[in-house]
Amino acid sequence: MVKRKVAWEFYIISAFITLLILFVGFYFGITLSREKIQELQNELDNLKLRQEDLTLELTLLALNKNISCDAIGFELEKVIGDAADLGDRVTIYEITEKVKDESFYNLKKDYTLILVRYWTYLEEMKKSCNRTDVVTILYFYSNTNCQNCQGQGVVLTNLKQTYPQNIMVFALDYDIDLNIISLLKKNYNVSSVPSLVINGKVYGGLITIERLRQIVCTEHGLCG
């Protein structure tokens, strides 16, 4: 008969090592999260810089009708595309990051404000340059409680692929706590997600690609 013993020392040492690995993991996680925020912030700063540039260009345009509409239109198109890319990354961060950095929420608000700003610039440019061939879509989505938002996103991406220069999509978080967003929701009568505001007209619920093509073609004269 042997008297069996529990090898406590192994269980305790292993617990310490495991905890150490977990702590290293948490440390890495926090560092990585900051790194991600930093990258988002850098891209946001870049967008802000370009915003200043556009402000001046648009001011000039208002003063002098001889300023090239094409150049401003081109720059706007590019910057809106870059803003959309940043928006994708903001969303990835928001969905995948388990423990979000506190500064993220302000960053997202900051980003949304810039996006709205670009939207106003686009509207201004459309008016000044008489660009009826550009359709503006405000897309209200939510990362919580929205069954069809992912699908709507796919549809919009597809539409944007077909008309890269004529469709401008601005994805706005329905739930974000900003006065301008509340104002826009109220102004356009947006009360659910997903909702699209196409050239100022609201369309609630999921819009499939077929219907969306029909809307932009017949109601907004894009294909003619």
Partner 1 sequence: MQLIDLIYLVIYSIILYCSVLWFTVFFKNRGKMFKNPKPKRFPSITFLVPAYNEEKNIGRCLKAILDLNYPKKRLKIIVIDDGSKDNTVNIVKRFKGVKLIRQKNSGKAVAMNNGLKHVKTELVACMDGDSFPDKDYLLKIIGHIEKKNVAAVTSAMKASETGSIFQKIQWVEYLWAIFLRKLFSIFDCQYVIPGPGSIYKTEILKKIGGFDEKNLTEDMEIGFNIVDHGYKIGNSIDAYVYTNVPSGFKGLYKQRMRWYRGYIQNTMKYSHMVANPEYGNLGFFILPINFLWMFILGFLLFSMILRWLWDASQYFINWSYVEFALMPLRVNVDIFFLDFYTYFWFWFLIVSLATIGLSVFYSGEKLDIKNKLKFYISYILFYPILSSVFWIASAIYEILRVERKW
Instruction: Give the residues across from 81 on adjacent strands.
Output: none
- Site string (144-163) toward partner 1, x via CB under 8 A: ------xxx-xx-xx--x--
- Nearest to partner 1 of 93, 141 (CB atom): 93
Question: CB 139 → partner 1: shortest distance, Å?
Answer: 14
What lies within 8 Å, CB to CB, of 166 at 6+ separation is 133, 134, 135, 222
- Nearest to partner 1 of 150, 189 (CB atom): 150
- Site string (81-110) toward partner 1, x via CB under 8 A: --------x--xx--xxxx-----------
- Nearest to partner 1 of 10, 177 (CB atom): 10
- Site string (202-221) toward partner 1, x via CB under 8 A: ----x-xxx-----------
Q: What is the dihedral of CA 56, 61, 64, 67, to 10 degrees?
A: 100
* Contact (Cβ atoms closer than 8 angstroms) between residue 112 and residue 70: no
- Nearest to partner 1 of 4, 127 (CB atom): 4
How many other C-beta atoms lie within 10 A of the C-beta of residue 125?
A: 22
- Decide: is 39 part of the binding site for partner 1 (CB under 8 A): yes
- Decide: is 223 part of the binding site for partner 1 (CB under 8 A): no
Question: CB 190 → partner 1: shortest distance, Å?
Answer: 20
* Contact (Cβ atoms closer than 8 angstroms) between residue 200 and residue 206: no
- Nearest to partner 1 of 28, 74 (CB atom): 28
Question: CB 162 → partner 1: shortest distance, Å?
Answer: 9
Query: What DSSP letter does each residue of 33-89 carry, written as one string?
Result: HHHHHHHHHHHHHHHHHHHHHHHHHHHHHHH-TTS-HHHHHHHHHHHHHHHHHHHHH
Q: Which two tokens stand for residue 208?
A: 């499939």
At 216, is the secondary structure helix, strand, or coil?
Answer: helix
- Nearest to partner 1 of 36, 50 (CB atom): 36
Q: Which two tokens stand for residue 124?
A: 């201004």
- Decide: is 10 part of the binding site for partner 1 (CB under 8 A): yes
The sign of the torsion formed by the CA atoms of 187, 189, 191, 197 equals negative
Residues in contact with partner 1 by CB under 8 A are: 1-2, 4-7, 10-11, 13-15, 17-18, 21-22, 25, 28-29, 32, 35-36, 39, 89, 92-93, 96-99, 150-152, 154-155, 157-158, 161, 206, 208-210
